[in-house]
Structure 1
C-alpha cells in the first residue's frame, strides 16, 4: 500500500491535470466556431449589399428629369435613334439653328416644306485599325423653298460637311446615337450657311463605311 501511494505521488503534475484539458479545448473550439459563423454572416451581408442589391429606380432617375435625358451626348441632346442604312433613316434625329444650337428633331413641328437631296459625299475617317471611307447620302427637309440657296451655296455646304466628317472617328458614327448626333451637326452647319433655320430635319439615304 505504501508503494502504491508513493507511485501516485510521484506522477508529474501535468499528468494529474489531464482530465481538465478536454474541457478547455472544447471551450476554444466553441469560441472559434462562433467567430467563423459571425465572419461568414458579415461576408454574405457585404456581398449582398455591394453586388446583389438593386438600387431603387426612383433614386437613380430624378422624378422631374425629362424623357430621353439619359441619351444626351452633346449640347442640345441627341434624342431618338437612327437607322444605319437606306430609306430616310428615321426622323428622330436633330436639327440645328442658325446660331449653331442643336435641337431634337422629335421636338420640332412638322413642316409643310419639301425634302431636297444633297450630293453624296465620300470622305476618309479616322480609325486606329487602318484607313476607312465613309460614303454618305443625305436628304434635307426644309420649311421653305431653299433649293436656290442650296445650289448657290453648294461649295460651302460640301466643304462644311467634309470638314465635319473628317473630324469623326469610326467609333463616333458607328452607333445609333452617333448617327443621330451627326444629323444634328449637319443641320447646324447647313443653317449657319443659309443664315436661318431653314433645315428642319436631315435624313441619311446612304451610310456605308468601308
Structure 2
C-alpha cells in the first residue's frame, strides 16, 4: 500500500492562517492600548482632582482668621447632681458638663477657680423649675444661663471670658 502524501498547500490557503494571526495580534494590541489609555485617563483625572482639592484647602487655610485657634474641651467631673422638691415629690437632675474654650493657658488659669465655678453652677441648677427643664427650650435656656454664669466668673477672676460655650454632654431628669 502506498502512502498518500498530503496535497501541496494552495497559494490562497497560505494567507488565511497568517491573516488570522495578524488579526489576533492587531486586536490584542488595540485592547492593550485601550486599557492603557483608560488607566492613564483615570490617573490623570484623579490626580487633577486631588491637586484642585489641595489648592482649595490651602486657600481655605489662608482665608481663615489667623487668630482663630481650634476648640479645646474641658470635661468637668464629677457630674452635677441636684435635687428639687416638685409638688411634694423629690426630683433629681444629673448634668455632665464640658467647657469649650480656644486658649489653653486661659483655660488653665480658670481651672484654679474650679471650686467657685462648680458652686455657681450647682446654685444655678438647683434654682430651676423642674417642669421647665422637661422641654428642649428649657434645657437650652439653662445651658445659656450656665454659659453666661461661667463667662461672668471668668471675666471677674481672669479678666477675659475664656469659655465660649458650656455644653451638656449628659442631662438626666428623674
TM-score when scaled to structure 1?
0.45
Per the alignment, residue 197 of structure 1 pairs with 161
Q: Deviations over 1:177-198 (max 9, x none)?
A: 1111111111111111111222
Partner of residue 143, structure 1: 102
Q: For each residue in 1:54-80, what CA deviation from the matched residue of structure 2 results, as whole angstroms up to 9, or x when unmatched?
A: xxxxxxxxxxxxxxxxxxxxxxxxxxx
2-structure distance, mates of 1:160, 1:149: 17
Structure-to-structure mapping, 1:81-96, within 5 angstroms:
none
Whole-angstrom CA distance in 2 between matches of 1:206 and 1:163: 18
- Kindly state the Cα deviation for residue 155 of structure 1 after the two structures are TM-superposed: 0.9
Q: Which residues in structure 2 correspond to 1:34-183 (within 5 Å)?
A: 112-119=70-77, 120-145=79-104, 146-183=106-143
Residue deviations 1:111-156, cap 9 Å, x none? 6231111121111124225111111101111121233223211110
**Whole-Å separation in 2 of the counterparts to 1:200 and 1:111:** 12
Aligned length: 101
Residues 77-101 of structure 1, C-alpha deviation per residue, up to 9 Å, x if partnerless?
A: xxxxxxxxxxxxxxxxxxxxxxxxx
State the 4+ residue runs in structure 1 displaced beyond 6 angstroms.
Answer: none
Distance 1:149 1:166, change over 3 A: same
**TM-score where L is the length of structure 2:** 0.53
* Alignment partners' CA distance in 1, 2:69 and 2:96: 22
What SS is found at the alignment partner of 1:148? helix
Question: Which runs of 5 or more structure 2 residues have no equivalent in the other structure?
Answer: 1-67
The whole-number CA distance in structure 2 between the counterparts of 1:158 and 1:164 is 10
Give structure 1 stretches of 5+ with no counterpart: 1-109
The alignment partner of 2:97 has SS state of strand
| SS at structure 1 position matched to 2:81 | strand
Higher relative contact order (CA 8 A, sep 6+): 1
